[in-house]
Amino acid sequence: MKTRRFITMILCLFAVLFLLTSCSGYNTQMRNHLSDEANYHSFCGIICDIYYFDAENKKVSLLASDVIPDCDVVVELTFDERDTIKKFLGSEPNSEWSLTEYRFAFDITKENSQILVENGFYDIVSINTPIEITASSFIYMDSNFFFIAAVTYNETTFLTFEDGIQNIREFINEHKSLL
């Protein structure tokens, strides 16, 4: 009888630990990775889309809207070369990655998006606009989003790396997981 209780207690403990480690938010490894400036690299890509998700979780394109949301924004870029992708993936792309013309989604935190709004970035870019970004390299997450810490277009910096990385650090520290 004691053995059965002990086994039940151990199984419950493992279940609780599993739930804690799968909570949404950024764990210590993710926060360390995303806070380290060495894990950010510059890339040139071409804009495919810029969008956000509304309160009903519907995708809304910023390129077809005059409304600038008060939330995170996603920029989808394509790259010309497979070597560019290897820089931020840290390895050769594999079958787990959805590669459509080397197309990837990058996340812009709410605060960084507001800086881009203030600097007029969304007003002058469109589909097929080439931009330079500085973004985080791969770390396991619940998604394949990479954080943008700097944005330059046509030799004009719309988001500096110093401001961008600071806002990313604040964002991930405000969204910690339980572990």
Domain that holds residue 109: 38-174
Instruction: Flag whether 18 is in a domain.
Output: no
CATH number of the domain enclosing 86: 2.40.50.140
Instruction: Flag whether 19 is in a domain.
Output: no
Number of domain units in the chain: 1
Confidence of residue 77 (pLDDT cuts 50, 70, 90): confident
CB atoms within 10 A of CB 178: 11
Average pLDDT over residues 84-102: 55
Q: Residue 99 pLDDT more than 90?
A: no
CA-wise closest residue to 151 among 36, 10, 45: 45
pLDDT in tens, 118-166: 999 998 999 899 999 999 876 655 555 688 999 999 999 999 999 999 9
- Geometric angle at alpha carbon 108, from 104 and 114, rounded to 5°: 150
In this prediction, residue 1 carries a pLDDT of 64
Instruction: Flag whether 26 is in a domain.
Output: no
Instruction: Flag whether 132 is in a domain.
Output: yes
Instruction: Flag whether 24 is in a domain.
Output: no
Q: Residue 173 pLDDT more than 70?
A: yes
Tokens 């330059």 correspond to 152
Most confident of 85-94, 98-107, 152-161: 152-161
SS (H, E, C) the chain: CHHHHHHHHHHHHHHHHHHHHCCCCECHHHHHHHHCHHHEEEEEEEEEEEEEECCCCCEEECCCCCCCCCCCEEEEEECCCHHHHHHHHCCCCCCCCCCCCCEEEEEECHHHHHHHHHCCHHHHCCCCCEEEEEEECCCCCCCCCEEEEEEEECCEEEECHHHHHHHHHHHHHHCECCC
CA distance 87 to 43: 9
Instruction: Flag whether 31 is in a domain.
Output: no
β-bridge partners, 40: 136
Instruction: Flag whether 21 is in a domain.
Output: no
In this prediction, residue 165 carries a pLDDT of 96
Tokens 């059965």 correspond to 4
Mean predicted lDDT score pLDDT of the chain: 78
pLDDT in tens, 30-57: 788 888 999 898 888 899 899 988 889 8
State what percent of residues in the chain have pLDDT above 70: 69
Instruction: Flag whether 57 is in a domain.
Output: yes
CA-wise closest residue to 66 among 150, 141, 123, 139: 123
